[in-house]
Chains A and B, each alone.
Chain A
């Protein structure tokens, strides 16, 4: 069991586990969920009958597994359910949020790539030289910098002092600059480190001079030998960067008051709107499991050594 079937089985196990664990967490959350919903809906002191009615309506009086199956059955056919506070379907609202987060994530990724690729290439030209040391120092500083503090510094510099870009909200392309830059600088910090060491390793591979002496041309060396070796760290990075982008987007959106996925999640948690929280958790898990699955499959294509008891 070490092929694609095993990988697929793993993905299914991971997704089911995520669903069950999330449900357990929310089921055992402190406070009476029915009361929370009642207060959120009617915004005043509610009578015990109303709370009881909501409890029955939303299936909260049934047992854990009944409630779980009420949630998971529609989910399996692609229905994320309704908000427990407003009663409206979750998906349209969530889609709006995702559509706001996507350009931010893309902008962050582009800025990250645009900064890190030239910096890494310049750095490995003279390993240990001043550009290399500077790049490493900048990357270390970037890795230690919390996204929300970097965001505050950028707001201070470009929105408060220089008045170049708006600090908060959405609406124009200018609103995307500071959040995108916050995210992009973080991405650049981690990418520079990884690209630098990947390039250094590829340059120093002992088989390269051997191939050259055997008369293999530089073109073939680069494409048939260096590229597959360098592809492995790049593939690993893809998954890591996705996590970083998502994590960063949550913080950045809160600071810049962008009603994207991060704001959606934080508001859902604060309103104790658990169906919404579950929806975000499951979508994220599906996204990650899919990316990990694709990465694992690509690994096997690129490097035939991978595959035996390597989890």
Chain B
């Protein structure tokens, strides 16, 4: 528990940057300043400028809203869809369980990033296909964990009693299953949030994600890649932003796992 406070503070700062970043950015993210293109850090532009003379710091701060905000959205939709499916599998009897789990297997028969690339690429580049691609390839872990815990609950005394008392299925799910799912699913969610950040920037880097000129960390890396010889620092900043966020969220996940679940339970 002692470790929980510092990591929560770091994550809180990241969330605040995603929300308020655009307001503290020193320059408009798409303002072009050709005379000052590829400027080194320092001076008027704190982290320098890109090939069009746009302020890198401002683009990073605006990009936080895209990279982190979209990751939050994608992993939360996956959380809801996946846990509902998992609970349906756990509470619906053997046939339903088998069917839902085979659908899960179909989606797991693929490395998720490759699947996301295919879906986003085929549907056409853009934010909505990015969200769809990452959600559709990111709900399975939640479903498996929710089902596993749900199956374990089905024979527990308080659940059986609730059934005998005539409580409806959805009500039992609401009052007896969901609270039991919260700790493990929170831990899974942090992992998926980190994966979503990596996925969004990877798709952006491949050109299938958020489209220019919108500042997003992956597309910023794509822009910076061409200038690796002349201004290598330009590609350092967005990469560091991704690594720092993913690392912070993963560490939070580890700390949460120790705090919320018993060590033996599969999370």
Residues of A within 8 A of B (CB): 10, 13-15, 17-18, 21-22, 25-26, 29-31, 140-141, 143-149, 152-153, 155-156, 160, 243-244, 246-247, 250-251, 254-255, 265-266, 269-270, 272, 274, 277, 281, 284-285, 288-289, 292, 309, 311
Contact = CB atoms under 8 A, between A and B. Distances in A.
Nearest to A143: B250
Contacts, number: 123
24 contacts: A10-B105, A13-B102, A13-B106, A15-B109, A22-B118, A141-B247, A145-B243, A149-B235, A149-B243, A160-B232, A243-B111, A243-B112, A244-B111, A246-B114, A247-B112, A247-B113, A251-B113, A255-B225, A266-B206, A269-B118, A269-B122, A281-B110, A289-B109, A292-B109
Chain A to chain B: the 8 pairs with minimum beta-carbon distance, closest first? A269-B121, A149-B239, A17-B106, A144-B246, A144-B247, A243-B111, A247-B111, A247-B113
Interface centre among B117, B119, B147 (most CB of A within 10 A): B117
B111 A246 contact: yes
A31 B124 contact: yes
Given A152-B235, A152-B239, A266-B121, A250 B198 contact: no
Contact of B243 (A17, A141, A244): A141
Contacts of A266: 117, 121, 206
B103 interface: yes
B139 interface: no
B255 to A, nearest CB: 12
Interface residues of B, number: 41
Nearest to B248: A144
Contact of A146 (B109, B117, B202, B250): B202
B193 interface: no
A13 B205 CA distance: 34
A22 B111 CA distance: 14
A140 B111 contact: no
Nearest to B205: A148
B172 interface: no
B109 A25 contact: no
B180 interface: no
A140 B114 contact: no
Interface of B: 97, 101-103, 105-106, 109-114, 117-119, 121-124, 147, 151, 194, 198, 201-202, 205-206, 208, 221, 225, 228-229, 232, 235, 239, 242-243, 246-247, 250-251
A255 B224 CA distance: 13
Contacts of A288: 109-111
A146 B122 contact: no
A247 B114 contact: yes
B75 to A, nearest CB: 16
Contact of B109 (A18, A31, A250, A309): A18
Nearest to A289: B109
Given A31-B124, A288-B111, 15 more contacts: A13-B105, A13-B106, A14-B105, A15-B109, A17-B106, A22-B118, A25-B118, A29-B122, A144-B246, A146-B239, A148-B202, A152-B225, A160-B229, A243-B112, A244-B111
Contacts of B122: 25-26, 29, 269, 272, 274, 277
Contacts of B106: 13-14, 17-18, 21
B221 A152 contact: yes
B102 to A, nearest CB: 5
A166 B217 CA distance: 26
Contacts of A311: 97, 101, 147
B123 A30 contact: yes
